[in-house]
Amino acid sequence: MKISKNIITAALLTAGVTGLYGCRNTSGTVVKTDHLTGTSSIIEENGRLAHQVDVVNIAYDEVNGLKRAHITMQSNRNRRLRVDYRICWFDINGMEIDPQTKTYRNQILEGRDTVTVTGVANSPAAVSSKLRIRETSQAE
């Protein structure tokens, strides 16, 4: 009886830990930029990533009739940090423009390093952009 009680307890504990692991937050930081109104917002959906990477500057301009966004990120860690990022572009109706061509790219931030990522819209109809940053380990 005692052995079966220990087996049941171990099984329940294992199931609970497995269930909690499946519920971890895989989102990251989102930077939204509206090129029509000139507003930007930073949404940090992952507390762990928010303590590791800061968005320190958001700038945008236009090149050859296409919008361009420059987002500067800074590492708060003393060692190398790997993140994935993706910049998506949206039209005036909020529809993503050509989502199949925008895959996540890997970025390495050395300890306390600052890096600027740049994205150029693939259509003149683009009026806003969204940068998504996530931990590389969550993407694997």
**What's the Cα-to-Cα distance from 136 to each of 35, 92, 108, 124, 126, rounded to whole Å?**
29, 31, 10, 31, 28
pLDDT value for 41: 86
| Closest C-alpha to 58, from 43, 76, 73, 47 | 73
From CA 104, how far away is CA 139, in angstroms rounded?
Answer: 9
pLDDT value for 7: 58
From CA 79, how far away is CA 63, in angstroms rounded?
Answer: 35
State the CATH architecture for 26-139: Sandwich (2.60)
From CA 13, how far away is CA 18, in angstroms rounded?
Answer: 9
Phi, psi for residue 73 in degrees, rounded to 5: -115, 150
Q: Which residues of the chain have pLDDT under 70?
A: 1-27, 137-140
CB 69, CB 129: distance < 8 Å: yes
Question: Could you report the per-residue pLDDT of 61-73, keeping only the tens digit for each?
Answer: 999 999 999 999 9
